[in-house]
Each structure stands twice: as structure tokens, then as C-alpha cells.
Amino acid sequence: MFFKQVKYRGDNFSYIIADEASGEAAVVDPSFNVGAVIRILKDQNFRLRYIINTHGHLDHKVGNRILKKAFNSKIVVHKLSRTNHDVSVDDGDVVRLGTVTIKVLHTPGHTPDSICLLTDGKLLTGDTLFVGKCGRTDLPGGSSEDMYASLLQKIAKLDGKIEVYPGHDYGSSKSSTIAKEKQANIALRDRTLQQFILSMQTHSLLNRLLVSFVNRVYDTSMISGPVERLIQLTQRGAIS
């Protein structure tokens, strides 16, 4: 199996999965990396069969139309998604590329249509789980209750050896494992639903207060280095 993590512009990760024998490929979350993705697909002489979105936020699905037009591919999303698509999937469904299988796990919380993708011991987690944190739940459609179930009752129960590949480069590394995240990621800490909800609410409030403080006190265009990075992460809700 061919597998490649792509980050060309911004902090979004895109992924290319392919069956090298048949040449069939899928791209997960084209994002702002679509130019680099196209170059890799052409260099490898892959036939792009599917474009899969882990959820419907613009920073993940931007590039869908470009890839679809360039390769005549089908767009795959969860059945609750409002994104224009050709194929809808649900929990437990399997997308096939030759002999390669990609299993769909419905993991709502960040959005109702959020999915993770399991293939060859690798879990692509979109904005559900990052390295060291989880996705925010305070955007429209977000739910801390759903996120708790997705993280603690579904993802945390997977084999610890499974590799984790998130939707953003927010953590200390570009990938991890289930075992490492269960050890170090506060979002996977064993606790009650009420404790989890309170934690998410607290972090959401702190994020908003910090952004408000920065906007009031500083001209953010003059800030650089670690402080700038802190502000960027906070504005994206990545500090959780």
C-alpha cells in the first residue's frame, strides 16, 4: 500500500492512499495542498478514484472540485454531510482501492459528519483527534457529548499499535499511536462525561478570553515567534 502525508500550505494535512498494484488511489482532505497532491498522483501514475472528506469544514474540502475535474473522481462524505458529493458512507462502511480497504468510523463531536478512516494499521482522524489534544466542539454542530463518545468509547478502544494521523499539524509530532495518545493526551483521559464537558467548556472559555485579550492589547501583525504561534493555535481552537 502507498501512503503519504502531505502538508504544502498552512497546517492542514492531506493524505494519499493507493493500491500500487491496481494504481487506484484516494485523497483524504485535499485542503490547501491540492497542487502538491496532484503532482504526487501524476508522478506515481495513480488513478484517483475517490476524494474523501473527514468532515465538511472548508479548510478540509477546499480542492475537492479541482481534483474531481482533473481526475473525474468521486467525492465521498458521511451521510450527514452537506458537502456536494457522489457517495455517502456511514459507520462501518468500507471504501475499496484494489486490495486496499479503508474502514469508516463515524466520530461526531467536532461536527455531526466527522469520520475517521482506518487502513492498514493507520487511523486518519481529521479534526476529531490531534496529537496531544482533540478538536473543538464549540463551533456550529459541535457536541462535547458526541466527542466524548467518539474518543472514549470508540477511538480509545482501538489497538494501541494503530498509528494516528491527524487533520492538522498542531502537536509535537506529525503522527502518533493510540497507545501514546492514551498515555499523554488529556482528551483520552478516563473520566466521566460531566468532567469531559466541563473541561471542554473551560478550554473554550479560556480560548475566547485569550483571543479577546490579544485583540485588545496587541497589534497581532507585530507579533512573531512563540507568541504568534500561541495566538494562531488559540484562534483555531487547537488548545484543548
Residues 105-143 have pLDDT tens digits of 999 999 999 999 999 999 999 999 999 999 999 999 999
User: Could you report the per-residue pLDDT of 133-165, keeping only the tens digit for each?
Assistant: 999 999 999 999 999 999 999 999 999 999 999
CA count, 13 A, side-chain hemisphere, 206: 13
Predicted local confidence at residue 202, as pLDDT: 86
Residue 66 host element (H or E): helix 64-71
Cell output for 70:
482533473
Query: Between the CA of residue 141 and those of 77, 88, 181, 197, what are the distances in Å?
Result: 16, 19, 25, 15
Which domains can be identified in the chain, with CATH numbers?
Answer: 2-181 (3.60.15.10)
Give the separation between CA 224 and CA 161, rounded to whole angstroms. 38
> pLDDT of 166-225, one tens digit each?
999 999 999 999 999 999 999 999 999 999 999 999 877 766 666 566 566 555 454 455
Instruction: Classify 17 as helix, strand or coil.
Output: strand
Note the pLDDT tens digit of each residue in 39-56. Answer: 999 999 999 999 999 999
